[in-house]
Amino acid sequence: MAKKKREEVDIDNAEVSIQNDNNNIKHSFKQKIDDFFKISQRGSSFKKEFIGGLVNFMVISYIMVVIPGLFSGIGGEGLWKALFVATILTTVLATLYMALWANLPVILAPGIGVASFIVGLIQTGEYSYSQAMAISFMAGVLFVILTVTGLRKKIVNAIPKSIKLAIPIGVGLFILNVGLSSSNSGILDLISGTATSFSAIVALVSFIIMAVLYVKNVKGAIFFGILGGTVLDIIIKFCIGINPFEVLRTNSYIPPFGEFFENSFLQFDFAGLFAGNLFSAISSVVLVVFAVVLMDLFDTVGTLLATAQKGNLFDEKGEVINQGRAMLVDGSSAVVSSCFGIPNASSYVESTSGIASGARTGLSGIFTSLFFALSLFISPIIMLIPVYATAPALILVGILMFDGVNKLDFTDLTVAIPAVLTMIMMPLTNNISIGIAVGLISYTFIMMLTGQFKKINAFTYVITALFIVYFVTLYI
């Protein structure tokens, strides 16, 4: 009897010992995660990082339909499915890279501004889809080179402050124009009385929902606006005898990797970029690549500053924590995204929503990446969302990019004129690079002709000269 009791005691002690060992392992693993991401050091917690990651997914998830939707008039359903996969893979890998390498709660995904620009180049016939992806690839490589060599700072310093402020506003006008167009929302047709279907009404309702929710600081305003527009679209289709759920029956929930590898993966045409007049082709490509790099550069710098200020993520020098690494992540992610067949990945300012919810480290990005990865298995549901329900997101994003207009000094015409030309030329020419070129050339000449040579950065002369060469080649 005593022997049996001793055996039971030994078993109980062994179980307690195993339980303690398991607890120690769990504690040790959790502590290693905490140490790696500096969670406690930055005043955060696992719960806050999870919530922040979930919030970031909610506020940025609209890109899963907006980005493929931008290309809807180019390659049909096959390309849509391919870019659906490409958008998610880019977001997952780029965000993981930022989380693990730079340890920042910043989400990276294909940029709407660059994507709109690239689509514009394709729709005007200037470049094919595969040629546009080759341009995106070169822009990503150049961004990495500029970051590694330190030339990035020289380029930033060479662009006058007024032009720096004007570029995002001009891009906003460009995106706004894309969102309002007949091929996307059709709202302009509705206003002018030329609308021929209910799609413009759905787009208008979708925009009103997201605008009102955004004004009320509702997290995920764009997501809920798209959702509201989709629900209205489904109701209207039922009323007119169309089954909107047919897509659920005819499409597989297995991620469409087949379409991805067939239609968008490594779709480069470098040779086609330089066909015809070689000198003219090179100058044109250089201009477009430089424009993409500038857009990505200012977007990344602005986003990093915004997120750092929101979460007090500055080092002892007053710079953004791991800023160099973050910039390198941004550039190399652009290279990867172009290989997937999607325009340059960039940091999203919506990441501040996750930071406002408590996220302070890259661990939140791990959670966001996980949510995006799971979304790969719901492509038929995503296909229920029409382009005209997502286009209003472009309109709202374009409007939000006007937030720097009050910083422009319109009393000094030497800087106001180039700034306005930069902004207005982008939507008028349907080309962001042309806007930057015209703005910079006008700035340089106005400053020179008013005797303000010393105020012009030496590198500004070089960039201006390159832009002038481009315009000259148009007539050679």
pLDDT at 322 over 70: yes
Burial of 241 (0-12, 13-18, 19+ CB in 10 A): exposed
CB atoms within 10 A of CB 38: 16
Q: Give phi and psi for 110, each to the nearest 5.
A: -55, 125
**DSSP designation for 152:** H
Name the one residue in this structure whose structure tokens are 């995660």: 33
Q: What is the pTM of this model?
A: 0.70
- pLDDT (average), residues 107-112: 85
Q: Hey, what amino acid is at 84?
A: F
CB atoms within 10 A of CB 57: 24
Name the one residue in this structure whose structure tokens are 């920042």: 104
CB 140 within 8 A of CB 337: yes
**437-475 pLDDT, tens per residue?**
888 899 999 999 988 887 887 878 887 887 787 677 666
Q: How confident is the model at residue 23 (pLDDT cuts 50, 70, 90)?
A: low
Percentage of the residues of the chain whose pLDDT score is greater than 90: 8
Name the one residue in this structure whose structure tokens are 């022997």: 3
**DSSP designation for 98:** I
Q: How confident is the model at residue 13 (pLDDT cuts 50, 70, 90)?
A: low
- Helices 129-149, 323-340: inter-axial angle, 10-degree rounding: 160
- pLDDT (average), residues 390-413: 81
For residues 340 and 342, give the distance between their C-alpha atoms in angstroms, rounded to a whole number. 6
Q: Which of 168, 170, 159, 162 has the alpha carbon at shortest distance from 415? A: 162
Ramachandran sector of residue 197 (left: φ over 0; alpha: ψ -120 to 50; beta: rest): beta
383 CA to centre of own chain: 21
For residues 63 and 84, give the distance between their C-alpha atoms in angstroms, rounded to a whole number. 9
**DSSP designation for 100:** I
- Helices 221-239, 199-215: inter-axial angle, 10-degree rounding: 150
For residues 409 and 335, give the distance between their C-alpha atoms in angstroms, rounded to a whole number. 37
CB 337 within 8 A of CB 136: yes
pLDDT at 8 over 70: no
Which pLDDT score is estimated for 20? 57
Which pLDDT score is estimated for 1? 54
CB 395 within 8 A of CB 176: yes
Which pLDDT score is estimated for 92? 93
Q: pLDDT higher for 433 or 426?
A: 426
**DSSP designation for 269:** -
Which pLDDT score is estimated for 235? 92
For residues 358 and 380, give the distance between their C-alpha atoms in angstroms, rounded to a whole number. 33
- pLDDT (average), residues 252-269: 83
For residues 464 and 448, give the distance between their C-alpha atoms in angstroms, rounded to a whole number. 12
263-273: burial string, b at 16+ Cβ within 10 Å, e else: bbbebbeeeeb
